[in-house]
């Protein structure tokens, strides 16, 4: 890990300024390469006329969102999270979730159709700034761990969890460095 820190410099795990916008980013990024996701996200923001908010996503023209590169399924998922964030009874903000365990946050988020385990774990890291998340559902994390710790050879998830134990209670930082190495 020290080699990765030297190679990639300081990487941060900080809470997002806007949890909803960050969740939208994770949904757009689902199952896409970094470059494709960035291009589609930029067009998505353009269609909305600004950063995502529930009040911009809900009335957005579906055809325009599809032309921006979003599948019909992702449009549905984005609208589902917009409804969840718009509903006063469900509060997914950092403040409301401050004392809630990661697993409970994942359970609450995955109750929204379109938010799976991967997206919920990305929310923990990038929206809430939680420092001890190891998202082994992410292919880049798994491939990065294999590259850094096993010369690119396969490892089981149990072996990866064991490697990640050395990073505790800062597994999110370890994850960031493994991603940086994988993407370099």
Q: Which residues are catalytic?
A: 138
The DSSP annotation for 130-143 comes to -S----TT-HHHHH
- Roughly what angle, to the nearest 10 degrees, separates helices 34-48 and 19-29? 130
E-assigned strand segments in the chain:
none
Nearest to 94 by CA among 169, 170, 22, 28: 22
Residue 169 DSSP one-character state: T
Confirm if 37 and 27 have CB atoms less than 8 A apart. no
Report the C-alpha gap between 100 and 31 in whole angstroms.
28
């Amino acid at each position: 890990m020290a080699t990765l820190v030297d190679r990639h410099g300081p990487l941060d795990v900080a809470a997002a300024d806007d949890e909803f916008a960050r969740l939208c980013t994770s949904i757009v990024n689902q199952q896409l390469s970094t470059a494709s996701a960035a291009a589609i996200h930029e067009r998505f923001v353009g269609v909305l006329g600004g950063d995502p908010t529930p009040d911009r996503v809900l009335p957005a023209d579906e055809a325009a969102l599809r032309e921006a590169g979003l599948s019909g399924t992702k449009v549905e998922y984005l609208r589902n999270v917009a409804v969840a964030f718009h509903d006063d009874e469900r509060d997914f903000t950092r403040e409301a979730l401050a004392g809630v365990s990661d697993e409970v946050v994942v359970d609450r988020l995955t109750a929204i159709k379109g938010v799976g385990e991967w997206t919920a774990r990305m929310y923990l890291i990038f929206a809430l700034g939680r420092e001890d998340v190891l998202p082994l559902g992410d292919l880049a994390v798994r491939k990065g761990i294999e590259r850094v710790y096993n010369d690119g050879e396969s490892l089981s998830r149990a072996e990866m969890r064991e490697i990640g134990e050395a990073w505790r209670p800062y597994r999110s930082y370890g994850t960031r460095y493994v991603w940086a190495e994988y993407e370099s």
